[in-house]
Chain A
Amino acid sequence: MPERNTGSDTSRPTRRRFLELLGKGSFVAAFGGIFTTTMRFLMPNVLYEPPTTFAIGEPDDFAPESATFLEDGRLFVFRRPEGLFAISSICTHLGCNVRWNAERGGFDCPCHGSSFDKNGKNIAGPAPSPLKWYELSLNADRQMVVNTRKEVDKNFRLQV
């Protein structure tokens, strides 16, 4: 006797189970939808940050053998006989602005005491890596242009 009912008994629960699964699945998916949209929403597509490429003036604005701190660009510009180069002032430890120590010929970070040599190599303190070197170039108006997205090595010099 039980065998006879098998067909109808199993088919109904299956349909119901499917519907139930579909319902539950939809819930999970809907909550997934809420989560992804929210996360995506919180990631901005446009920024109003300062440009990563900007002009900093003509080479002759920088005196020979000088180290100039540019606040807006957060970088140091050095002029040496071999040419000009730019080193980031952002400490690789936690992002404070480092200071140029003229006596020692190196950089010191005021926040947590990291020290860097004249090429920006980390020599003491918690900083994990050397300061970044940015690419310098000349544009058509003979203005020097810094591109903070392009890192260069410490042999880089802009000849003028």
Chain B
Amino acid sequence: MKTAICISGVLLFISFLLILQDDFNQQWKQVQQRFATIDENRFYSADGDAYAAEPGVKQIVVSGLDRVDRCTTCHLGVQESKYAHAVAPFTTHPGDMLRIHDPKEFGCTACHLGQGYAVSFETAAHEKLEFWNETMLPRELLQATCGTCHLSEEVPAAPQLTRGRLLIRDKGCSGCHDLNNFFEDTPRGPDLEGIGNKTTPAWLYQWLKNPRAYLKDSRMPAFRLSDHEIVSLMEFLMSLNTKDSPPRLIKEQPSEEGNEDDGGTLVSESRCISCHAIHGRGGKLAPELERVGDKVREEWLANFLRNVHYYQPEKVMLEYNFTDRNALDIAAYVLGEFSEEAYELPDSVEALLPRSESQRKDRIEQGRKLMAKYGCDGCHTISGKRLSPRVGPKLTNIGSRLESTLDFGKMTDVVPTLYNWMYMKVKQPAVFDSTSIMPDFHLTDREALEITLALLGNRELEYSEEYLVRESERSLYRKPAGAFGELFERYSCISCHSIDKYGGDISTAPLTIEGSKVQYEWLKDYLLNPSAIRPLLAERMPRFRMTEREAALMADYIKKVYVSDDIPGFFEYELTSQSADAGRRLFMELGCRSCHIVEKTGGYVGPQLDDVGDRLEAGWLFSWLRSPLTYNAETIHPDYGFSEEQAKQLTAYLMTKRGAQ
């Protein structure tokens, strides 16, 4: 007995030794010893408690973010540039992010994630750790956490996040999912009322089967539908044919055939190509028109062109003021020109079509239900209304979703982190569950990554308000009002032009300071009858067919409102003919003609300058020459660093270039 007690006593002693060593051999203690060998000064005392002079556990308490971060226990050099080339984990934090986000105020894990409480490599969740939801973000996803505090749509310092958020808006995710309110909740696809008048069942069939077969970069995602489902949807959609009496509509079948040749002229004159691509050339704002002739019915197209905003209440496309005759001509031209061969239903589908009126009714009812089931109405309203609430789960807190609740289905070889799950899900929605109704968006790797990143930042955490950035970091744009506002909307200016960084990017001329830039007479003429300023660009201003009165009103408004105080007015009175001569010499010396056409010769890169004296304001030319980058950050125009005198001389010279010459 005594022996047994003695032996077990030794065992007890050993067990206590094991306990004792647990504290002595802590990983961070070894790391700090290693740090002492690379720097004799060891634990330097900067002005923060995180780097107190003595060794020991360091921590940053950030109560506003509800975080306690002990990362600096091992990452001892993060804030000292002298450790830029030290070995990990002592390296200086790269970049200048810490200057904007002082670790004393923000800690580490609010951005990087990981477990701040922990003081060993494994428990700090550098890699996936069981029961810790915030696995440290890999470098590619680092901008995700920016989105938790930066709640406005665009975050200039986080381009990936911004792109991700714009993608989310562009793909129409909010049609099915409740996202944070900064993602616009406008329908992304056309209203479906009247679609039965617009197209044919055969086209609908193949479109629902695979939108990309018709339009290779279609925004509509692919729903994995059975032929049965497609037929039901098709019947339902074809039954939506009531929208047949809009005002000023060509009511009957076209009484006379359109003239294709006239139509062709109108199409090129109207610069359709600025927004619509045809055979791969042209703008990307609007759908490709390559096979539109196989899709739409001729009478529908003619009606559409006569009254665009009736069909398109969101007013992306402009109103062209075509006559009935014009519309018929264009429709005839488009149907003839932009088609390959008519779509036909496969026989197997033909067999599914309803045979009787009651069957048809059933099908239509089924189609309506499917419409709601798949959340089609998230993007396509019917007479402006939705059939059902959002069908997808709410994603406002998706970034905090517990990893233990994720279902990876049969995918067992994936590291079960939230970001892996989300990436795979957006890339291939049926990957974990073949019954998922989420459609396939055909995202590229990069798009999927950026969307994952943007969604990961959607976390409803108890962060104190002072850390949240809500106000927009972008535009001050306000929609113009009054008579100008009406015209502005009618001609959909904002689809191509931007104002205060808001709007389209098809035009190279933002309207923000257009009034300081161009002359009134020229602007008015240009609105009436646009001419090519940059011959190389496919996207050009279309002919609006507006009245003289309208053009005058718009020009007047632009000249008065869209101006900048930084650009001097009445500048031409400072210019003399001597300086114009000096300007000409300078112009030729610098070889400006390699890009600009002057006196009928020169390059095509920049705008031609032979009538620039009629077109631009002297003050603008002067300001532009002094500092092109101020007015367009992406311009390729060189900044020659002109003195005031030189800029004045060049301006004087250019102002002599008038159309009369």
Direct contact of A and B (CB under 8 A): yes
Stretch from B56-64, B356-364, B621-629 that touches the partner: B56-64
Within 8 Å of chain B (Cβ to Cβ): is A119? no
Q: How far is the CB of B12 from chain A (nearest CB, A)?
A: 5
Given known A-B contacts A51-B49, A53-B47, A23 and B23 have beta carbons under 8 A apart:
no
Given known A-B contacts A139-B47, A145-B47, A26 and B13 have beta carbons under 8 A apart:
yes
List residues 1-38 of chain A with CB under 8 A from any CB of chain B.
Answer: 16, 19-20, 22-27, 29-30, 33-34, 36-37
A26:B9 contact, CB within 8 angstroms: yes
B17 nearest in chain A by CB position? A33
Q: How far is the CB of A30 from chain B (nearest CB, A)?
A: 5
A23 nearest in chain B by CB position? B6
List residues 33-79 of chain A with CB under 8 A from any CB of chain B.
Answer: 33-34, 36-37, 40, 45-46, 48, 51-53
| A23 CB contact (under 8 Å) in B10, B20, B49 | B10
- C-alpha gap A48/B110 in the complex (Å): 19
Cβ contacts B1-34/A at 8 Å (1 or 0 each): 0110111011011001101100100000000000
Q: How far is the CB of A159 from chain B (nearest CB, A)?
A: 19
| B6 CB contact (under 8 Å) in A20, A37, A40 | A20
A27:B16 contact, CB within 8 angstroms: no
B47:A29 contact, CB within 8 angstroms: no
| B57 CB contact (under 8 Å) in A29, A36, A45, A51 | A45
A26:B12 contact, CB within 8 angstroms: yes
Within 8 Å of chain B (Cβ to Cβ): is A147? yes
- C-alpha gap A103/B249 in the complex (Å): 93
Given known A-B contacts A19-B3, A45-B57, A46-B57, A26 and B10 have beta carbons under 8 A apart:
yes
| A22 CB contact (under 8 Å) in B6, B16, B23, B47 | B6
Chain A residues near B20: list those with CB within 8 A: 33, 36-37
B49:A30 contact, CB within 8 angstroms: no
The main secondary structure of chain B at its interface with chain A is helix
A22:B9 contact, CB within 8 angstroms: yes
List residues 94-149 of chain A with CB under 8 A from any CB of chain B.
Answer: 139, 145, 147
B2:A33 contact, CB within 8 angstroms: no
Given known A-B contacts A23-B10, A53-B49, A147-B47, A29 and B2 have beta carbons under 8 A apart:
no
The main secondary structure of chain A at its interface with chain B is helix
A27 nearest in chain B by CB position? B9
B53 nearest in chain A by CB position? A149
A33:B47 contact, CB within 8 angstroms: no
B16:A30 contact, CB within 8 angstroms: yes
B4 nearest in chain A by CB position? A23
Chain A residues near B280: list those with CB within 8 A: none
Chain B residues near A26: list those with CB within 8 A: 6, 9-10, 12-13
A47 nearest in chain B by CB position? B59
- C-alpha gap A45/B61 in the complex (Å): 14
Within 8 Å of chain A (Cβ to Cβ): is B48? yes
- C-alpha gap A152/B56 in the complex (Å): 26
Q: Taking each of B12, B17, B57, B59, which has the highest tally of chain A beta carbons within 10 Å of its own beta carbon? A: B12
A34:B16 contact, CB within 8 angstroms: yes
B13:A29 contact, CB within 8 angstroms: yes
Q: How far is the CB of A44 from chain B (nearest CB, A)?
A: 10
| B59 CB contact (under 8 Å) in A34, A46, A52, A139 | A46
| B16 CB contact (under 8 Å) in A16, A29, A46 | A29
Chain B residues near A52: list those with CB within 8 A: 49
Within 8 Å of chain A (Cβ to Cβ): is B70? yes
B19 nearest in chain A by CB position? A37
A23:B59 contact, CB within 8 angstroms: no
B2:A20 contact, CB within 8 angstroms: yes
Chain B residues near A145: list those with CB within 8 A: 47
- C-alpha gap A34/B16 in the complex (Å): 8
A45:B56 contact, CB within 8 angstroms: yes
- C-alpha gap A20/B4 in the complex (Å): 11
- C-alpha gap A151/B12 in the complex (Å): 49
- C-alpha gap A52/B12 in the complex (Å): 43
Q: Taking each of A20, A25, A34, A46, which has the highest tally of chain B beta carbons within 10 Å of its own beta carbon? A: A46
A40:B23 contact, CB within 8 angstroms: yes
Chain A residues near B49: list those with CB within 8 A: 51-53
Q: How far is the CB of B43 from chain A (nearest CB, A)?
A: 14
Chain A residues near B2: list those with CB within 8 A: 16, 19-20, 23
B26 nearest in chain A by CB position? A45
- C-alpha gap A27/B15 in the complex (Å): 12
Chain A residues near B19: list those with CB within 8 A: 33, 37
Q: How far is the CB of B528 from chain A (nearest CB, A)?
A: 57
Q: How far is the CB of A51 from chain B (nearest CB, A)?
A: 5
Q: Taking each of B3, B9, B57, B61, which has the highest tally of chain A beta carbons within 10 Å of its own beta carbon? A: B9
Q: How far is the CB of B65 from chain A (nearest CB, A)?
A: 15
- C-alpha gap A33/B23 in the complex (Å): 12
Q: Taking each of B5, B6, B20, B59, which has the highest tally of chain A beta carbons within 10 Å of its own beta carbon? A: B6
- C-alpha gap A48/B19 in the complex (Å): 27
- C-alpha gap A120/B20 in the complex (Å): 47
- C-alpha gap A78/B17 in the complex (Å): 55
Instruction: Show 12 A/B contacts (Cβ-Cβ < 8 Å), sorted by A.
Output: A19-B3, A22-B9, A23-B2, A24-B9, A26-B12, A27-B12, A30-B12, A33-B16, A37-B20, A37-B23, A45-B57, A46-B59
Further pairs besides A20-B2, A33-B20: 18, Cβ < 8 Å: A22-B10, A23-B2, A23-B5, A23-B6, A23-B10, A26-B9, A26-B10, A26-B12, A29-B13, A30-B9, A30-B12, A33-B13, A34-B16, A36-B20, A37-B16, A37-B23, A51-B48, A53-B47
Which 6 A-B residue pairs are closest in the complex by CB-CB distance? A23-B6, A33-B16, A26-B9, A26-B13, A23-B9, A19-B6
Contacts from B to A (Cβ < 8 Å): 2-3, 5-7, 9-10, 12-13, 16-17, 19-20, 23, 47-49, 56-57, 59, 61, 70
